[in-house]
Structures are given as C-alpha cells and as structure tokens.
Chains A and B, each alone.
Chain A
Amino acid sequence: AQSVAQPEDQVNVAEGNPLTVKCTYSVSGNPYLFWYVQYPNRGLQFLLKYITGDNLVKGSYGFEAEFNKSQTSFHLKKPSALVSDSALYFCAVRDMTDSSYKLIFGSGTRLLVRP
C-alpha cells in the first residue's frame, strides 16, 4: 500500500536561514511525488513535482526538492526562508505503475519562519 510520512509536525527556522521539510514515501512501483502548500483559509497549492529525470526539481517560490530513491525520500528545501513561507506543507505520492490517479498525502508539516 502507498504511504507518505512527514516526521515533523512543525519546523521552525529563522528568516534568511535554509529550511528543510522532510518526507519519505512507500509505493510498490515507481513514484510520482508532489509538494503542496496550504495557507490559512486557502486550498492546497501545487509547489513542485518529481515524475522522472533529474533528481533535483525546482518549483514555485524558490523551493526545490531532491528525490532520493535509495532512501525513499523527497525532502523539500529552500536556501533562504522568508516569513511569508510560513504555512502548512504536504508531501504526496502516486504510484506510477498503478492505474489509479489518487494522491496519497502525508500528515503535513507546519513551517514557521520567524523574523
């Protein structure tokens, strides 16, 4: 069965410092991996995806994520955090070899960037 783990409920970082939000996944086949962000009273917004190719993918707002097949991880990173990055971040996976289109989401990580 597919699953996603986000081990940290909250990540705190000072503005200007690098940030990492962790995600590990489990699928039986090859994964499609996604990061979404949720701001208060808003729906989930797409940040970036990994389908195939380069393990380092770049997305919106300066975020990037690195796919690591051996560690089954897809950590979200940003070199320099902004206060406006404070939000709820969700990692999601879909099994590429499955005919299903559903995404399986992690439990979310709250990012708090302090000034």
Chain B
Amino acid sequence: EPEVTQTPSHQVTQMGQEVILRCVPISNHLYFYWYRQILGQKVEFLVSFYNNEISEKSEIFDDQFSVERPDGSNFTLKIRSTKLEDSAMYFCASSDRGHEKLFFGSGTQLSVL
C-alpha cells in the first residue's frame, strides 16, 4: 500500500529556533493536512492544503506556522520561532478527495527545550 513518509522522525530544538518538518504525501493525492498530538492528548487539526493554498486552518495555526508545497512531491510545515508548548507529535496526512479517508505518516516527534 502507498505510504506517506515524514522526516525526521525526531527533532530536538531550542526554544525560539525555526524548524521545518517534511512530508512526502502519496503521489496522486490532492489534499494535504497537518495534525498534531501533544503527549496524552487528542489528535488536533492544524491545517489543510489544496490546490496550492491553505483551505482551512485551526486556531493553533497562528502566524508562527506556515506550510508549503515547494515542488510536486514535498509538503512542509515550518514553525518560525518554536515555543515549549509546540512540543508534540506532528502528523502529515493526504487524501485523494476531501471527504475520503486520510493516509497518515508515522509522525515527527518535536521536542522544544
């Protein structure tokens, strides 16, 4: 079965630093998402991306966050100035249609010190 791949699997950074989390969605998918899961808490929606633009974002996705699809394969999440509370597992997902099932990557565990 095709997979969504995420790199790195673990990222440790200092507070205030910029991080970029990378994802390669499934090749024929058109909808892309970032979710995150703080340890012991729910999986939370961050942002959805379609047709080269953000289609929806949550309250969590403030000006410190941005997403980009720099080429035909990668989908990145950038956090400009990390905060302690950004520590979480970040999941990338993709789908071929907006209402259909999502395929998730294995996640990037971000630790902000």
Are A and B subunits of one complex? Answer: yes
User: B40-75, CB under 8 A of A: which get 1 and which 0?
Assistant: 011111001010000110100000000000000000
Segment 66-113 of B: residues with Cβ below 8 Å from A: 91, 93, 95, 98-99, 101-107
A34 at the interface (CB under 8 A from B): yes
B4 at the interface (CB under 8 A from A): yes
Size of B's binding interface in residues, CB under 8 A: 27
Residue pair A101, B43 in contact (C-beta under 8 Å) = no
Provided the pairs A43-B4, A101-B56 are in contact, do residues A90 and B43 lie with their beta carbons within 8 angstroms? yes
> Which residues does B use to contact A, with CB under 8 Å?
4, 6, 31, 33, 35, 41-45, 48, 50, 55-56, 58, 91, 93, 95, 98-99, 101-107
Residue pair B104, A107 in contact (C-beta under 8 Å) = no
Interface window among A20-28, A44-52, A63-71, A77-85: A44-52
> Which residues does A use to contact B, with CB under 8 Å?
32, 34, 36, 41-46, 49, 51, 90, 92, 94, 96, 100-108
